[in-house]
A and B are shown apart, each in its own frame.
Chain A
Amino acid sequence: QAVVTQEPSLTVSPGGTVTLTCGSSTGAVTSGHYPYWFQQKPGHAPRTLIYDTSDKHSWTPARFSGSLLGGKAALTLSGAQPEDEADYYCLLSYSGARPVFGGGTKLTVL
């Protein structure tokens, strides 16, 4: 089974910009992995922010965006707010339709 890797932790200043990445042990991440990004705050269920690399839900704040960057999926937060402090998980789909979650990134806004 593939391993999906994320930065364990990142820190961003309020108002700053940060990019979280999501890599695959099998090689470059492509749109064919249909990358998803989820935000999870303590005691709450995950909330989907980005699907299919860069598509947003109606509830996704405009400051979040998804892309492919350097062979990885990327989630960029531009203009970080204190309420963005959370755990972020990516999800990649592989052949055989088996999805794999990344280990998560703990984002601190400080």
Chain B
Amino acid sequence: QVQLQESGPGLVKPSETLSLTCTVSGRSISSGDYFWSWIRQPPGKGLEWIAYMYISGGTYYNPSLESRVTISLDTSKNQFSLRLTSVTAADTAVYYCARGHNYWGQGTLVTVSS
């Protein structure tokens, strides 16, 4: 069974870059034609899809975040990552990584504050 675990700073200053990593276990991220996703949820609000990437290289971003987001894969470490630049308080959320839309990490809270 595939398992995912998010990691990264829990506090980021406004205007700085948010960087998160998702470590995948139980399955190689190189196996199968899956896509690897990032989703977020502001406190008390609904889910928002951020981005996903296929191992074959196809990458898709939420149009509202596209100018600030980068997703990347590191097959040697069985990880994938998210970078979100120029963050504001509106980017405060629980960030989830997922394989496709079916297997989710437990989420990590990132707060944007000075």
- Which residues of A are in contact with B by a Cβ distance under 8 Å? 1, 36, 38, 44-48, 51, 57, 89, 91, 96-104
Contact = CB atoms under 8 A, between A and B. Distances in A.
A98 B60 contact: yes
Given A1-B64, A57-B102, A45 B47 contact: no
B102 A101 contact: no
B1 to A, nearest CB: 10
Interface band, chain B: 10 to 19
A100 B60 contact: no
A101 B48 contact: yes
Contact of A89 (B47, B60, B102, B105): B47
Query: Chain B interface secondary structure, helix, strand, loop or mixed?
Result: loop
Interface in B57-114: 58, 60, 62-64, 96, 101-107
25 contacts: A1-B64, A36-B101, A38-B47, A38-B101, A45-B96, A45-B104, A45-B105, A46-B96, A47-B104, A48-B101, A48-B102, A48-B103, A51-B102, A89-B47, A91-B47, A97-B58, A98-B60, A98-B62, A98-B63, A99-B49, A99-B101, A100-B49, A101-B47, A101-B48, A103-B46
B46 A101 contact: yes
Contacts of A48: 101-104
Contact of B46 (A1, A51, A57, A89): A89
A91 B101 contact: yes
Nearest to A96: B60
Interface of B: 39, 46-49, 58, 60, 62-64, 96, 101-107
B58, B60, B101, B104: most-surrounded residue (chain A CB, <10 A): B101
A99 B24 CA distance: 22
A98 B46 CA distance: 17
B12 to A, nearest CB: 21
B69 to A, nearest CB: 13
B49 A101 contact: yes
Given A51-B101, A98-B60, A46 B47 contact: yes
Contacts of B106: 44-45
